[in-house]
Structures are given as C-alpha cells and as structure tokens.
Structure 1
Amino acid sequence: MNNTIKELFERKSVRVFRNEPITKEEKELIINSALQAPTAGNMALYSIIDVQSQDIKDKLAIRCDNQPFIAEAPLVLLFLADYQKWYDMFNKYTPGVSKLEESDLILASQDCVIAAQNAVVAAQSMGIGSCYIGDIIENFEDNKELFNLPKYAVPFVLVVFGRPTQTQKDRIKPKRFDMEDMVSVDTYKQKTIDETVEMFKKQSNKTDEEIGEYIENFANRKFFAQFRQEMNRSARQIIKSWIE
C-alpha cells in the first residue's frame, strides 16, 4: 500500500483542532492541489473562497446548524459551483446564448466536489485534518448575500481544515461498507431487505437486536431532523434561482 492509498484509508473527519495556524505555504499547496483536479473540458466550473474573516466564520458556524468548530478552524474554504465566468465569456464572444439549465448546475457541482476532495487529500498528506460541512447548502439566500454571489455561482461545498488534536488522531475511523456490498457488475443489483439489513449490520457492528434501534436513531438525527427541511427548501431555491 503506497502512501497516497494509506492516507485515503486513514483519513477521517476532524472537528477539533489544535490552536496552531496553517502556514501560507501549506494553504497554497492545498488550494493549488484543488486546482489540479479533473474538470469537465478543463472549464473549472467552480471557484474557491478563502474565508478569513472571523465574523463570516462565526456566521457560518451558526447557519450551518450551530457547529462552533467551523468558527475555530484555522482554514475555511468555500467551494462554489460556478459557471458564471464561462457564461460571461460566452455572452461576450458568441451570439444567441440562452440561460443555463439543470445539467449545467450538475456539471459545475461535479467539478466543485472533485476539487474539494483534492484539497482534502492534499491536506491529509501534510498531517492537516479536514471536515466537510454539507449544511452549507442551507440558508442559500443569506449566504448568497454574505458572499456577494452572482446568479451562476452557488455555495456547494464547505471544508474546514486544521491540525487534529491527539484525541482526534486516536479516534477510530467509522467502518465503511464492504466492497461486495457497494459494487455491482454491469447493472445495479437490487438487494432484498434481508440482504440490506445484513449489509448494515456488518457496517455498524450491530446485532439483530440492536440494528432496529440504531437505524431509528439515525433516521431521527438525519432524515426527520429539522435541518433537512431547510436543506430541501434551500436546495429547491438554488435550482430555481439557477434556471429562472
């Protein structure tokens, strides 16, 4: 196992950081690694905001479901699904440009996520931990105003970076699903409910008696949670704002 693969296996979310800055050189390496990511047609349908303002970090910590560690992170990068620069250039140099549509948003979102993952892997290689913040898609209108975003640039991925505490280093990474449960050959293999239960038991290390309560608790935290309502509302608004 080479170092890159080893780091992919060992990487886990870090939410508690040592009170140490990330150097200018480290930040530049992380961001430049993101810029090397695969991208549709080399269009780079994303942009990155380096959030340095403590006031903005504090706002994000509250808006992203009250997670104080966001405000405490020494490096906060917001990745935007951004088609704006190309749309502007198309309008300048080509006639008959129509508005962007759903596929353009999806393509930009793919570029955005790939770039963010490059940054995460680069940080991991330098001993810098990270955590994805999916809640950034909530409160779209407020964040659009906060970051002065044009029509075709939307907040899609927020990642915080910092040096993990020893406790975070020692924390056991949650087990992932097994390859045989996640990979189909040629066509999708629809599992029976019994097969799916077994899949979840293996991943969670729960018994027959424990798995039901485990899933119910998970559903209450994620599926029935109030933040999901806002996330869905905001996601609909993102799409509406993009295509109208």
Structure 2
Amino acid sequence: MLKTKTMESIKNRRTIRKYQTTDVADELLNDLLETSFRASTVGNMQVYSVIVTRDVEMKEKLSPAHYNQPMVKQAPVVLTFCADFRRFSQWCVQRNAEPGYENFQSFMNAAVDTLLVAQTFCTLAEDKGLGICYLGTTTYNPQPIIDALQLPRLVFPVTTITLGYPAEIPDQVDRLPFQGLIHQEHYHDYTPDELDQLYAYKESLPQNMKFIQENKKETLAQVFTDVRYTKKDNEATSVNLLNALRAQGFLD
C-alpha cells in the first residue's frame, strides 16, 4: 500500500480542542494559506477570502456565535473562511463587465471554493504538527459573525477553523467502514441488513452506548434526531441561514 507522510497524517488526524500557548508564527501561517490557495476552484475565480483573527477582543466578539466553545478564545488563531463574490464582482465592474452573481448558484460555487481551500489548509497545517477544529456553528449563526467581521455584501462565512499546537492527544472519532460509503457506477440503496452492518461498530462503542443511556433513548439514531440535531433546531438555523444569505445579496 502506498504510504506518504501526508497520508499517514490524515489517517492519524484528530480534532484538537485544547491548544498550547505557543503562538503560530506569521511566516508559517502565511505559507500554509498561500499554499492552500493552490486548491482547485470552480471556474478559476477564487471566490473566497480568509479572515485571520488573533486579537483577544475579536475572539470575544466571535465566541457567542460559536456557542462559547472554549477553543475559540483559547486557540492562538481563529480562521473564518468566507465565500466572497464581492472582489470578483468589483473587478468585473471595473473592467466594463456586468456581474450576475447575486444568486444562490453563485453562493454554492463560492462555498465549494471556500471549503476546498479550508480542507487543503487543514491538511497542510496538520502535516506541520498543528492542530485544527472545524466549527460547524458558522452557518448556524452567520449574522453575528458577519457583523463582528464587518463582512460586506456578497461575502458570507462558510466555516471557521481554530488553529494552534495541540495540548492534547484525544482519541480518534469513529468512521463508517470504507465499503459502506463506496458505490460502483451508480448509487446502490441500502438494505436493512446492510445498515445494521454499517452502523454496528458505531453503535457498539462504549461512549455511544453511554450517550444513549444519559439521554434516556433507545437507539443512537434517536440521540441524533431527538437531542443533537433536531428538526426544530435545523429548521430554526435554516431560517437564520437563508435570512443572512438574503441580506448579503445571494438570494436577491
């Protein structure tokens, strides 16, 4: 089997939520970002921007939007990766071209660009011994982030990453078996027996069995649907997301 340092780094990756006080040097951070900007894009427009936050007061402003997760304040660097069609649109106008990017498709294109860059950055950072944590809360509470970072029209936060040198070596989180995620030639729907096999390991983990007991549920699936990611919460955050997208010009 082909093995490289990067492949081994990815296979052994862990989400880091506790960081050393050691700072991340500007030279290293800038090199990682510049290299990540070689990631693939939709149409070679590079419709993304990255907001680098080191200032303590700025982290304080961002923290509530991320449900006050401690790593936002504790990490040396917080990076907000944004879909950005503003820069490209301004360039078009300046070159006598009429931009038509105030729509959802353009947001999707920019979001794809943004996530490609973000994941490339994370892979490079971990290869250099840094730890990262993705914050899914970015799209749950986009408006406070937009306000704190003063994001103009056609700029939208897609994901946030905390960055620093790890102060912990947590266990790896479980992943579904490779065979259950691959479909040859076309999508093959799952039989009940296949689903049982696919989720058997996840359901057997002691920490997941503990979650079931603590939440007084019958199955792990109910922990997800009734506690962690409820329909009510998903609908509420969807409204927040759509309202913020409209305010930023992507749903005109």
DSSP 3-state at the match of 2:157: strand
Structure 2 CA distance, aligned partners of 1:82 and 1:106?
Answer: 11
Query: Closer, same or farther in 2 for the Cα pair 1:4/1:148, shift >3 Å?
Result: same
- Aligned residue type for 2:123: V
Unpaired segments ≥5 residues, structure 1: none
The aligned residue for residue 236 of structure 1 is 242
DSSP 3-state at the match of 1:240: helix
CA contact (8 A) 1:123 1:129 kept: yes
The aligned residue for residue 191 of structure 1 is 190
**1:4-39 alpha-carbon deviations (Å, 9 max, x no partner):** 110111111100111211122221222122212111
**1:147-203 alpha-carbon deviations (Å, 9 max, x no partner):** 1112111011100011112xx32x221121111100101211111233223211134
CA contact (8 A) 1:65 1:227 kept: no
The aligned residue for residue 117 of structure 1 is 119
The aligned residue for residue 14 of structure 1 is 16
> In the alignment, which of 196, 219, 230 is matched to residue 213 of structure 1?
219
Structure 2 CA distance, aligned partners of 1:195 and 1:224?
Answer: 25
Query: Closer, same or farther in 2 for the Cα pair 1:200/1:78, shift >3 Å?
Result: same
Unpaired segments ≥5 residues, structure 2: 213-217
Query: Closer, same or farther in 2 for the Cα pair 1:199/1:98, shift >3 Å?
Result: same
Query: Closer, same or farther in 2 for the Cα pair 1:230/1:164, shift >3 Å?
Result: farther
The aligned residue for residue 142 of structure 1 is 144
Structure 2 CA distance, aligned partners of 1:45 and 1:90?
Answer: 13
**1:191-237 alpha-carbon deviations (Å, 9 max, x no partner):** 12332232111344359xx5843222233342128754542222212
CA contact (8 A) 1:79 1:155 kept: yes
- Aligned residue type for 2:192: I
Deviation at 1:125, TM superposition (A): 0.8
DSSP 3-state at the match of 2:117: helix
Deviation at 1:95, TM superposition (A): 4.8
The percent of aligned pairs where both chains have the same amino acid is 20
Residue correspondence of structure 1 range 42-121 to structure 2 within 5 A: 42-121=44-123
The aligned residue for residue 173 of structure 2 is 174
Query: Closer, same or farther in 2 for the Cα pair 1:225/1:188, shift >3 Å?
Result: closer
**1:93-126 alpha-carbon deviations (Å, 9 max, x no partner):** 2455445211111010000001011111111011
CA contact (8 A) 2:78 2:163 kept: yes
Moved more, 128-137 or 96-105: 96-105
Residue correspondence of structure 1 range 16-35 to structure 2 within 5 A: 16-35=18-37
Structure 2-normalised TM-score?
0.86
- From the two aligned structures, give the one with the greater helix fraction: 1
**Over 3 Å off, 4+ runs:** 94-99, 203-207, 225-230
Moved more, 32-41 or 211-220: 211-220
Structure 1-normalised TM-score?
0.89
Structure 2 CA distance, aligned partners of 1:183 and 1:126?
Answer: 30
Query: Closer, same or farther in 2 for the Cα pair 1:182/1:229, shift >3 Å?
Result: same
CA contact (8 A) 1:135 1:231 kept: no
Moved more, 210-219 or 195-204: 210-219
